[in-house]
Amino acid sequence: AQTVTQSQPEMSVQEAETVTLSCTYDTSENNYYLFWYKQPPSRQMILVIRQEAYKQQNATENRFSVNFQKAAKSFSLKISDSQLGDTAMYFCAFMKVSGYALNFGKGTSLLVTP
């Protein structure tokens, strides 16, 4: 079974600053997908960014980027120029290439302060 660990239950960052959220995972698979989902207070789950394990290049989406270290099984999310609207729970998730569903970590609550 795959496990996803987010070791930071809560984090805070000031507006315009940069913050990094950590995620590690455990798997024996060689090919898989990793994701970061955002859950704002509205409870809606929103895909932030996605990484294919076979790609060495780190994924980026505007102010969001990842640091994917396959050997270390690490997948951190960097948010640059933090905005108040980034306040949310952030979930790291894993999926096997042959799988059907996501395995989620417990989440990191991020608070962006003025």
Partner 1 sequence: NAGVTQTPKFRILKIGQSMTLQCTQDMNHNYMYWYRQDPGMGLKLIYYSVGAGITDKGEVPNGYNVSRSTTEDFPLRLELAAPSQTSVYFCASSYEGGIFGKLFFGSGTQLSVL
Instruction: Give the footprint of partner 1 on this chain (CB under 8 A).
Output: 4, 6, 9, 33, 35, 42-45, 47, 50, 91, 93, 95, 97, 99-107
Least separation in angstroms between CB 9 and partner 1: 8
Indicate the residue among 43 and 114 with the shorter CB distance to partner 1: 43
Least separation in angstroms between CB 72 and partner 1: 21
Indicate the residue among 36 and 79 with the shorter CB distance to partner 1: 36
DSSP element (H, E) containing 29 = none
Tokens encoding 42? 């509205």
**Rounded to a whole number, what is the distance in angstroms from the first to the last CA of the chain?**
41
Least separation in angstroms between CB 17 and partner 1: 26
Distance CA 59, CA 5 (A): 20
- The CA-atom distances, in angstroms, between 62 and each of 8, 31, 48, 59 are 23, 25, 10, 10
Distance CA 85, CA 92 (A): 19
Indicate the residue among 95 and 111 with the shorter CB distance to partner 1: 95
Indicate the residue among 16 and 47 with the shorter CB distance to partner 1: 47
